[in-house]
A = this chain, B = another copy of it.
Amino acid sequence: MHKPFLRTVFGVLALSLASAASAQVKPEDQIKFRQAGYSFMSWNMGKIKANLEGEYNAQQVQAAANAIAGIAGSGMGALYGPGTEKDIGSLKTRVKPEFFQQMPNVGKLATDFNAAAANLAKVAAGGDKAAVQQAFSDTGATCKACHDKYRME
C-alpha cells in the first residue's frame, strides 16, 4: 500500500476517534437530545407564527429565531449514530429507516434547513414583518421536506 493512502486511512480513523471522544453520547441520549432540539424549535416556530398572525413583537421573534438557528446549526447529525435507528425500550423514535440509507439526500435537506434557519435569524434581526413572513415560510418548508420523507406519522 502507498504511504499517502495509509496516512489518509489513519487520518480518517483519528478524526473518527476524536469525534467519538468528544461525543460519547449513549444511543438513548442521542434520541432524547435530538427530540429535545426539535421540540424546542417547534415552540419557537409557534411563537413566530403567533407573532406573524397577531401583534408583532420584533424582539420576541428575533429571540425565537436565534434559538432555532442556534439549535439547527449545532451539529444534530451527531445525534443519529448507530443504535438510534429504532425505539430503545419505551423510548420511541419516529425516524424512518430510509433516513439512514439515504445520507446524501439527508445531508442536502439538513443543509437547506440550516441555511433557512440562519437566514430567518438574520432577517428577524432586521425587524421587517413581511420579510420575516417569507423567511419563516421558507424555513417551515425545509422542516416539512424532511418530515414528509423521513418522519413516521
Residues of A within 8 A of B (CB): 18, 21-25, 29, 32-33, 35-37, 39-40, 43-44, 46-47, 50-51, 54-55, 57, 60, 63-64, 66-71, 73-75, 79
How many of these chains are in the complex? Answer: 2
Which 3 A/B pairs are nearest by Cβ-Cβ distance? A70-B70, A36-B39, A67-B74
Interfacial chain B residues near A46, Cβ < 8 Å = 25
Give the residue name and chain of the B residue nearest to A56 (CB).
Answer: B22
Bound CA–CA A9/B37 (angstroms): 38
Give bound CA distance, A23 to B53, whole Å: 12
Distance in angstroms between the alpha carbons of A2 and B83 in the assembled complex: 67
Q: What CA separation (Å) do A46 and B51 show in the bound complex?
A: 33
Q: Are B40 and A40 in contact (CB under 8 A)?
A: yes
